[in-house]
């Protein structure tokens, strides 16, 4: 079953074509990677999918329903959660409080929200720091908090926007293990990432965005060999090699 269908989506900002005719299907239970150089339009595409702004043209279907007109909070309640590339913790509050905000998407009862939040923190091994102020966390913990809050909404599809940027190699390995664990529990994951080692290890399929257009799609092995991808990343001179 297709969890997410992106059909010929364009997004223009004035005269700038941030995303041009992008199509992609995300199958249930898959980890799909989205890569591309800086400014390729990856985050713009995520914002369209998450309902932050509508696509200029084209349509997005989530769990069989067209998402036109749905706002981020509507999509969240239908099972779509996301993290932000630039983390946005509720800085003055505790880690537990932050995660409970997400948990309230599925329940109005405080005790139930707290139980769900603790469950997520347990899973991400963050229980030790549950009472820490979110604004005082290290960058690695802030990235994990982004994921924890999103998970607390109990999503079917999780959009991860560069959750590994700025992490040390051991922390990246840990994050890869966490994300694989999520997939194994039945979640579908769509992930933007710059760290090649991580995206190659994680993804079942990868799509490559370059100047707003999809230039390649395939398994990690296919992408690693693709001529156009190598050119896009390393420049024309390396393409012939």
**By the rule CB under 8 A, 89 interacts with other proteins:** yes
**By the rule CB under 8 A, 189 interacts with other proteins:** no
Considering only residues 84, 137, 141, 172, which one is a binding residue for other proteins as defined by CB under 8 A?
84
Question: Mask of contacts with other proteins, 112-131, x by CB under 8 A?
Answer: -x-----------------x
**By the rule CB under 8 A, 240 interacts with other proteins:** no
Q: How far is CA 227 from the centre of its chain?
A: 26
Please enumerate in sequence order all residues whose Cβ is within 8 A of that of 197, keeping only pairs 6 or more positions apart, or say none: 172
d(CA 145, CA 151): 10
Q: Given phi > 0 = left and psi -120 to 50 = alpha, else beta, which region is 187?
A: beta
Report which of 89, 86, 109, 105 is spatially closest to residue 97, judged by C-alpha positions: 89
Measured from the CB atom, the residue of 11 and 149 that comes closer to other proteins is: 149
Virtual torsion, Cα 83, 85, 90, 95, nearest 10 deg: 60
Question: Mask of contacts with other proteins, 37-66, x by CB under 8 A?
Answer: -------------x-x--------------
CB of 238 to other proteins, least distance (A): 38
Considering only residues 16, 68, 91, 177, which one is a binding residue for other proteins as defined by CB under 8 A?
91
Strand partners for 190: 32, 159
d(CA 70, CA 78): 10
**By the rule CB under 8 A, 228 interacts with other proteins:** no
Token pair recorded at residue 111: 């005790």
Binding residues for other proteins, rule: CB under 8 A, are: 50, 52, 71-73, 76-77, 81-82, 84, 88-93, 97, 100-102, 104-105, 108, 110, 113, 131, 149-150, 152-153
């Amino acid at each position: 079953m297709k969890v997410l269908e992106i059909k010929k989506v364009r997004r223009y900002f004035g005269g700038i074509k941030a995303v041009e005719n992008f199509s992609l299907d995300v199958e249930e239970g898959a980890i799909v990677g989205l890569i591309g150089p800086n400014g390729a339009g990856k985050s713009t595409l995520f914002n369209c999918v998450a309902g932050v702004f509508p696509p200029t043209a084209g349509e997005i279907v989530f769990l069989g329903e067209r998402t036109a007109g749905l706002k981020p909070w509507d999509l969240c309640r239908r099972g779509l959660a996301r993290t932000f590339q630039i983390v946005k913790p509720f800085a003055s509050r505790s880690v537990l409080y932050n995660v409970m905000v997400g948990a309230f998407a599925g329940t109005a009862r405080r005790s139930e929200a707290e139980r769900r939040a603790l469950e997520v923190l347990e899973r991400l091994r963050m229980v030790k720091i549950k009472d820490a102020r979110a604004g005082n966390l290290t960058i690695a913990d802030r990235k994990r908090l982004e994921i924890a809050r999103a998970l607390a909404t109990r999503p079917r599809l999780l959009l991860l926007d560069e959750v590994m940027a700025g992490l040390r190699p051991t922390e990246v390995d840990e994050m890869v293990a966490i994300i694989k664990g999520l997939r194994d529990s039945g979640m579908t994951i769509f992930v933007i990432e710059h760290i090649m080692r991580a995206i190659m290890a994680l993804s079942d399929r990868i799509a490559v965005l370059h100047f707003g257009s999809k230039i390649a799609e395939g398994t990690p092995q296919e992408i690693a060999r693709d001529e156009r991808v190598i050119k896009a990343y390393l420049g024309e001179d390396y393409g012939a090699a």
